[in-house]
Homo-oligomer: A and B are copies of this chain.
Amino acid sequence: MALEVFHKDETLQMRRKLIGQSCRLFFSRDPVKIVRARGQYLYDENGMQYLDCISNVQHVGHCHPSLTQAAAAQMDLLNSNTRFLHDNIVLYADRLAATLPKKLCVFYFVNSGSEANDLALRLARQYTRHQDVIVLDHAYHGHLTSLIDISPYKFRKLGGQKEWVHVAPLPDTYHGIYREDHPDPGQAYADTMKSLIDEAHKKGRKISSFFAESLPSVGGQIIFPTGYCKRVAEYVREAGGIYVADEIQTGFGRVGSHFWAFQLQGEDFCPDIVTMGKPIGNGHPIACVATTEEIATAFTANGVEYFNTFGGNPVSCAIGLAVLDVIEKEDLRGNAVRVGGHLKQLLLQLQTKHPLIGDVRGVGLFIGMELVKDRASRKPATEEAAHLVRRLKEERIVMSTDGPWDSVIKFKPPMCFSIEDAERVCTCIDQILREEFLPLLSTSPLHQNTLPPHSVHSPLQPHLSHTTLLALLHSPSSPTDQKENYIFKSIVCYFFC
């Protein structure tokens, strides 16, 4: 199979013509064309290697041969639908059940995290006979009509908040109303939920469910304070609703210590529904809803068939099974603990050196590094984060931002990310921050840096941008105020990087 059919310019031109422009590209001014990948490494059309810090979907690593084999073997045998009996779906459900608390024992297979959350919404409403949904501020639960309605991240830009949606404060102890110095932020944030429910009841509304990512991702790589979920679940259940844990980004061992991120909240907390997606098939379109017998029974009682054409087909389940096997065989949860722990330590060390790094948080290989204008105000350093991402791209490291202000550098790499990868990316970040964001130290030109051997520049990307940038940055007319300097550098980089 040819790695490339069209020259990159032609691909880009065709893409602009043929694909809806709402589908955006990373680094839109100079997008990356990736033609090959393996493990945690991406390769562009010139064979240039990029370290991938963000492809959480390619959970066990890009193009794992076990998955290709499992898919091809099953594709050669049978791909039908769930109206025929087949072993793969029950084998797979059984394996997933073993990772979950006993009460989550009934499964529905679908094709995407969005389909899973939509089905969770249907299950919640059918079971509770209530309509309303509580979500966390800045949450994103999917691209479907029903999910935009429960995603503040989207509905604030698209048509506004429906009367049946209630937005609870994000329990963010760095930016939120209760911070790290609060004696019990878990209880305090749970109490905001209680107030919200009381308010909704006063308006005659009835709560069907609380939807939350077990670690809010788009919300900024947030770690819930201790006790939060258990207390919230109590309040929601008292109101006749259920707790839906969206594990689409966080499941399948990403947090290392546990298979599911909700398990970080302790053994005495169990959601009523868990939705799974992204990493579940390592990129193959599969997703799942796990729930209780009671909720499943109520859904069946409506007498209407639920048929999902592709959901739970033998090929998707074979791939899902193979992913579980690789997670176990390669001890990827152990790797997430070791490498994630080391990465977090390195980032915390960087924080001691760079005032720009306001916060480092995370578990396993789900880590956020938040950039701030200054630590006192915690004002998000949005442009600086964007600049850092662009600079890392030049160093052949693919990174991205998240959070309400896109000020959080997010690490969600394939789970085979190594200690060396973690060290490489931290060395790069250190160097970029030192040279470009600590003006007193920024005297050594960028092209003389001592970056690791992987970060050789592509022949397609001459040093013009750096040279031009440096000329501008070191010219006598450059602004000297640190804040203005950041903005100025960002603007320069926006046009040249």
A462 at the interface (CB under 8 A from B): no
Chain B residues, Cβ within 8 Å of A36:
77-78
Q: A interface vs B, CB < 8 Å?
A: 1, 3-6, 8, 11-12, 14-15, 17-26, 31-37, 42, 55, 57-58, 62-63, 65, 67-68, 71-87, 89-91, 93-94, 97, 105-108, 111-115, 118-119, 121-122, 143-146, 154, 157-158, 277-278, 282-286, 291, 296-297, 299-300, 302-313, 315-316
Question: Which residue of the partner chain B has the closest CB to A24?
Answer: B305
Contact B33 A84 (CB under 8 A): yes
Partner of A90, one of B18, B35, B74, B304: B18
A86 and B284 contacting across the interface, CB-CB below 8 Å: no
Point out the residues of chain B lying under 8 angstroms from A65, CB to CB.
76
Q: A63 contacts B82, CB within 8 Å? A: no
Give the top 7 A-B pairs by smallest Cβ distance, nearest first.
Answer: A22-B306, A14-B90, A285-B285, A18-B93, A79-B283, A145-B146, A33-B85
**Please, how many angstroms separate the alpha-carbon atoms of A47 and B55 in the complex?**
42
Taking CB as reference atom, which chain B residue is nearest A75? B68
Q: How far is the CA of A309 from the CA of B309 in the complex (A)?
A: 19
Contacts A57-B81, A73-B1, A86-B11; A22 near B304 (Cβ below 8 A): yes
Q: Chain B residues near A112 (CB, 8 Å)?
A: 111-112, 115, 308-311
Q: Tell me the nearest residue of chain B to A26, going by C-beta.
A: B83
Report whether A78 and B144 are in contact in the complex, using a CB–CB cutoff of 8 Å: no
Contact B1 A74 (CB under 8 A): yes
Query: Contact: B144 with A307, CB < 8 Å?
Result: no
CA A89 to CA B15, docked complex, whole Å: 8
**Residue in chain B with minimal CB distance to A52:** B80
Q: How far is the CB of A259 from chain B (nearest CB, A)?
A: 18
Interface centre among A32, A63, A75 (most CB of B within 10 A): A75
Cβ B83 vs Cβ A24 within 8 A? yes
Asked, given contacts A73-B1, A309-B277, whether A19 binds B93 with beta carbons under 8 Å apart, the answer is yes
Given contacts A6-B90, A79-B62, A90-B19, contact A111 B108 (CB under 8 A): no
Which residue in chain B gives the minimum CB-CB distance to A304?
B157
Nearest-CB distance from A150 to chain B (Å)? 10
- A86 CA / B10 CA spacing, docked (Å): 11
Residues of chain B with a CB closer than 8 A to A291's CB: 20
List of B residues within 8 angstroms of A15 by Cβ: 85, 89-90
Which residues of B have CB within 8 Å of A106?
18-20
Residue A284 contacts which of B6, B87, B304, B310 (CB distance < 8 angstroms)? B310
Asked if A285 contacts B310 (CB within 8 A), the reply is yes
Cross-chain contact B115 with A34 (CB below 8 angstroms): no
Query: Which residues of B are found within 8 Å of A119, using beta-carbon distances?
Result: 143
Instruction: Report Cα–Cα, A87/B4, bound state, in Å.
Output: 7
Q: Do B143 and A6 touch (CB < 8 A)?
A: no
**Bound complex: CA A62 to CA B12 (Å):** 35
Contact of B146 with A34 in the complex, beta carbons under 8 Å: no
Complex contact A313–B22 (CB within 8 A): no
**In the complex, what's the smallest C-beta–C-beta distance from A43 to chain B, in angstroms?**
8
In the complex, 17 of the A-B residue pairs with CB atoms within 8 angstroms, ordered by the A residue number, are A6-B91, A11-B87, A19-B93, A20-B299, A22-B296, A33-B84, A33-B85, A36-B77, A58-B79, A62-B79, A71-B72, A79-B283, A112-B308, A112-B311, A154-B304, A158-B302, A283-B310
